[in-house]
Each structure stands twice: as structure tokens, then as C-alpha cells.
């Protein structure tokens, strides 16, 4: 056997082994890839500030949070120590211990020491509750929980509320109690 024949036999043997390995190779385990994807932390931001501008180039709202974390499985966001300044006809400020935004980003669910304040000069009104829901499309705040509204020495307590930020209207749902002090 010449060296050319030996080289050709070796190449054919190598090609046969390669083809055999290629044809008998197992499919990759997709569960491993899925586990890796769900274990990824998504993204997070510390000391974040997000600003949305309207069509005229003016600030529509500003969101600040100590921390924003994305859930990679659902694409929902969790915000810690959130503050929103809503710049409409009359400025509003909303503060809460935490908030969540689902993947649709159509609403913000505030929870823990939620305070919504209308910053009208000389007539500031504050609404506090354990939770509030803000609908981004309609610019409405709502809750089914108990709330307290304060303006100076005047207080109103109720169960459930809806605030239309654009129209500057408040609707209290039930158990309304008013305390007015001169």
C-alpha cells in the first residue's frame, strides 16, 4: 500500500466517523435553554428617571424610582419608591412604596403608602390609600380600598374612588365621611 492509498483510506475513515457522529447526534435539550432564559434577571435600573413628552414637546410626566426591575418571563416591571409628576392642566404628584407595570404598560399598580396630590397653588388636595391603579391611556386613578382626602383641616374618608386627572374630577364610591374644621 502506497502512502497515497494510506492517506486516502485515512481520509475516508475520518469522513465516515464524522458522518456517523453527525447522524447519531442527539437533539439539544430545550429545557436547559428554557431554564437559562427564565433564570436571566432581565434588566434593572438604580436611581432611574423616565420622562415622557407630549406632542408639543412639553413634559407629560416624569417617573423616578429608586430601583426598576424587569421580570424576563412576563416583561412586567417592579418599581421601588416610585414618584410620578403628572404635568397636565393642574400638576399631580403620585408617590408609593412600590408599583408594578404589566407588559402591556397600560396601567400602573401602586401599593404601600400611596399619596396622590393635586398641586394647585393655594388649593392642594392630597389623597392617600394603600393602593391605587393608574390607567395610562385614560389618565384616571382608581381604588376600591379606603381612602382619605385632605385639604388643609378638611378631611374626607371613603371606600373606593376614581380621579380623572384630565377633567379634574373626583368620584367617591361609598362610606363617605366628611370632617370640616373652621
**Is residue 120 pLDDT above 80, yes or no?**
no
Is pLDDT larger for residue 17 or for residue 179? 179
Spatial contact of 62 and 49, defined as CB atoms under 8 Å apart: yes
Least confident among 2-11, 44-53, 66-75, 76-85? 2-11
Q: How confident is the model at residue 24 (pLDDT cuts 50, 70, 90)?
A: low
131 pLDDT more than 90: yes
pLDDT in tens, 152-178: 888 999 999 998 888 888 899 998 888
What number is the average pLDDT over the span 133-144? Answer: 90
Q: Is 81 helix (H, G, I), strand (E, B) or coil?
A: strand
Domain boundaries, the chain: 3-35, 43-179
Superfamily the domain 43-179 falls into: Lipopolysaccharide (LPS) transport protein A like domain (2.60.450.10)
Q: What is the reported pTM?
A: 0.70
Average pLDDT of the chain to the nearest whole number? 81
DSSP β-bridge partners for residue 6: none
Which helix (H) or strand (E) covers residue 61, if one does?
strand 59-70
Amino acid at each position: 500500500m502506497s502512502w497515497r492509498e494510506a492517506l486516502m483510506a485515512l481520509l475516508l475513515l475520518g469522513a465516515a466517523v464524522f458522518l456517523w457522529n453527525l447522524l447519531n447526534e442527539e437533539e439539544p435539550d430545550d429545557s436547559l435553554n428554557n431554564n437559562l432564559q427564565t433564570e436571566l434577571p432581565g434588566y434593572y435600573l438604580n436611581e432611574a428617571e423616565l420622562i415622557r413628552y407630549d406632542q408639543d414637546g412639553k413634559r407629560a410626566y416624569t417617573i423616578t424610582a429608586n430601583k426598576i426591575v424587569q421580570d424576563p418571563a412576563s416583561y412586567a416591571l417592579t418599581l421601588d419608591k416610585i414618584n410620578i409628576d403628572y404635568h397636565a392642566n393642574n400638576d399631580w404628584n403620585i408617590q408609593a412604596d412600590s408599583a408594578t407595570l404589566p407588559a402591556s404598560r397600560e396601567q400602573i399598580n401602586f401599593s404601600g403608602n400611596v399619596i396622590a396630590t393635586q398641586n394647585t397653588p393655594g388649593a392642594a388636595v392630597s389623597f392617600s390609600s394603600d393602593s391605587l391603579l393608574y390607567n395610562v391611556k385614560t389618565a384616571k386613578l382608581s381604588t376600591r380600598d379606603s381612602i382619605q382626602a385632605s385639604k388643609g383641616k378638611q378631611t374626607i374618608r371613603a371606600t373606593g374612588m376614581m380621579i380623572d386627572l384630565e377633567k379634574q374630577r373626583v368620584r367617591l364610591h361609598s362610606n363617605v365621611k366628611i370632617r370640616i374644621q373652621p
